[in-house]
Amino acid sequence: MITLILFGPPGSGKGTQAANLVEQYGLLHISTGDLFRYEMKNDTPLGLEAKSYIEKGELVPDSVTIGMLKNKMDANQNVKGYILDGFPRTTPQAEALDKLLASQSDEVTALVALEVADEILTERLLGRAATSGRADDADVNIIKNRIEVYKEQTSVVAEYYGRMEKAAYVNGVGSIEAIGNRLCEAIDAFLD
Q: Mind listing the domains of the chain with CATH numbers?
A: 2-191 (3.40.50.300)
Q: So which residues are the catalytic ones? A: 14, 89, 128, 134, 146
Residue-wise pLDDT for 60-104, tens only, equals 889 999 999 999 999 998 999 999 998 998 899 999 999 999 999
pLDDT at 185: 97
User: pLDDT tens digit string along 93-135?
Assistant: 999 999 999 999 999 999 999 999 999 999 999 988 888 777 7
E strand map for the chain: 2-7, 28-31, 81-85, 110-115, 167-171
Write phi, then psi, for 9 (nearest 5 degrees): -70, 165
Highest mean pLDDT among 28-37, 61-70, 132-141, 157-166: 157-166
Inter-CA distances, 100 with 16, 57, 88, Å: 27, 27, 12
114's CB contacts (< 8 A; 6+ apart) are 6, 7, 8, 12, 13, 14, 17, 170, 172, 179, 183
